[in-house]
Amino acid sequence: MKIYKAYKFRLYPNDEQIILIHKTFGCSRFVYNYYLDYQKKNGVKRAYDLCKNLKGLEKEHEYLKEVDSCALRCSIFDLEGGYKNFFAKRSNYPKFKSKFTRQSYRTSCIRSIYKGKEYSNIEIDLLTKYIKLPKLGKIKIRGYRNKDKIEGKIINATIIKETTNKYYVSVLVEEDLSVEKVIPTSIVGIDLGLKDLVATSDGVKYVNEKIIMKYEKRLKRLQRKLSRQVRNSKNYLKTKEKIARIHAKIRNYRKHYLNDIANEIVNEHDIIVTENLRVKNMFKGKIKAFNKRLSDASFSKLCSLIEWKSKIKGKYYYKIDTYYPSSQICCHCGYKNSKLKDLSIREYDCPCCGVYNDRDINASLNILLEGLKLHYDLVSLA
């Protein structure tokens, strides 16, 4: 099984390298925007043909030759990807890139063999902590302290300057993994909620972290401050950078937290069952749009983490479509209690069988049972 992993390192370029990185950002953006405009006027072309056209553009604009030519080609393929997503109705029509947001460019890894020795334009040395990148040469990196080698084949590298003014490089690596499916001995159902982020059929709950709320409060205060300051003044830009830093902190914190939850769940169980979020959302009542967006993003991130970790560990992951509200049905007797439409009832005794139920854990048990049915249907088919 081929799997893809992204390794993200902090990058410490010197002054000369910073200048070249910025030139490459500019040139990649120019090429992207140029061909977006070109295709708006002349109709959509294949990236392959646009790359041929790029040669003429490079003659017209000599400065394009100063930067990594792979990056310019990647820009064209990114644009093609944008159009493909648009035609498949996955996203909006591609937009022009601005220089006032997060900056990045991607370059692909090219290997060659010369006199029996293999050469590559992207190389990572985790012992000396350097990365070799096309045109830029060696740059100091930080990250992955516990690793001394990256296994697998490097596919590409993306150089990024975040709005926090820090530089990063994200390296995509292809790894060949032989995974054998485990013989399942344990199963868990997972209910995704707003009050508790996750409730499992084992009775474990993962709360929405308070620390994130603390950051969010600070964020709101800074945003009010920003709105009173003179646009693009020195203090305005300072506040803006502070805001970007807090955004990054929240992002990182959430990422680590979700990763920890997914690790724990996948390490401890062989069959993992969650609800299909699209179906789940039909039953959600009035939730503040902001909170909903945030939790939706967390849920889908968590589910994709669980899916990926299950895959590489040979475990089973099922998303089930519950076309009934799983939290209203008692998992012991199957009685449907419509009083539970009221989301404020967190725990109750079942009026039919008298068993004490915790709302979210009861829901996760129902999810487990559905998943178990599905698993045996699939196993008996195979």
Q: Could you tell me the smallest distance in angstroms from the CB atom of residue 146 to Zn ion?
A: 48
Q: Could you tell me the smallest distance in angstroms from the CB atom of residue 107 to Zn ion?
A: 60
Structure tokens at 95: 């937009």
358 is catalytic: no
Kindly write out the interface string for residues 310-339 of this chain, putting x where it contacts Zn ion by CB under 5 A and - elsewhere: --------------------x-xx-x----
**C-alpha span between 109 and 172 (Å, rounded):** 10
Three-state DSSP at 379 gives helix
Q: Contact region for Zn ion (CB under 5 A) — 34-42, 102-110, 157-165, 344-352?
A: 344-352
Q: Contact region for Zn ion (CB under 5 A) — 103-111, 128-136, 198-206, 348-356?
A: 348-356
For the chain, the straight-line distance linking the first and the last C-alpha, in angstroms and rounded, comes to 20
Looking at this protein, which amino acid is placed at residue 370? Answer: E
Beta-sheet pairing, 130-133 with 123-125: antiparallel
Q: Which of residues 237, 353, 378, 379 is near Zn ion by CB under 5 A?
A: 353
| Closer residue to Zn ion in complex, CB, 54/330 | 330
**C-alpha span between 247 and 229 (Å, rounded):** 20
Would you tell me how many other CB atoms lie within 10 Å of the CB of residue 359?
Answer: 21
Contact 141, 12 (CB under 8 A): yes
Q: Contact region for Zn ion (CB under 5 A) — 44-52, 254-262, 353-361, 371-379?
A: 353-361
What is the side-by-side order of every strand in the sheet holding 187-192?
205-207, 196-200, 187-192, 271-275, 316-320
| Closer residue to Zn ion in complex, CB, 258/350 | 350
Q: Could you tell me the smallest distance in angstroms from the CB atom of residue 329 to Zn ion?
A: 9
Q: Contact region for Zn ion (CB under 5 A) — 78-86, 95-103, 270-278, 349-357?
A: 349-357
| Closer residue to Zn ion in complex, CB, 184/334 | 334
Q: Could you tell me the smallest distance in angstroms from the CB atom of residue 336 to Zn ion?
A: 10
360 is catalytic: yes
Q: Which of the residues 68, 270, 275, 370 is marked catalytic? A: 275
Looking at this protein, which amino acid is placed at residue 141? Answer: I
Q: Which of the residues 78, 191, 270, 370 is marked catalytic? A: 191
**According to the binding rule CB under 5 A, does residue 352 interact with Zn ion?**
yes
Q: Could you tell me the smallest distance in angstroms from the CB atom of residue 197 to Zn ion?
A: 26
* 44 burial type by CB count under 10 A (0-12 exposed, 13-18 middle, 19+ buried): middle
275 is catalytic: yes
| Closer residue to Zn ion in complex, CB, 96/356 | 356
Q: Could you tell me the smallest distance in angstroms from the CB atom of residue 338 to Zn ion?
A: 14
Beta strands in 42-165 (DSSP E): 103-108, 111-114, 117-120, 123-125, 130-133, 137-142, 153-161
Cβ neighbours for 349, distance < 8 A, ≥ 6 positions apart: 355, 356, 357
Place of tokens 């953006």: 29
Q: Pick from 333, 339, 365, 338: which is nearest to 352 by CA?
A: 333
| Closer residue to Zn ion in complex, CB, 107/357 | 357
Which residues lie near Zn ion (CB under 5 A)? 330, 332-333, 335, 350, 352-353
Report, as residue numbers or ranges, the catalytic residues: 191, 275, 360
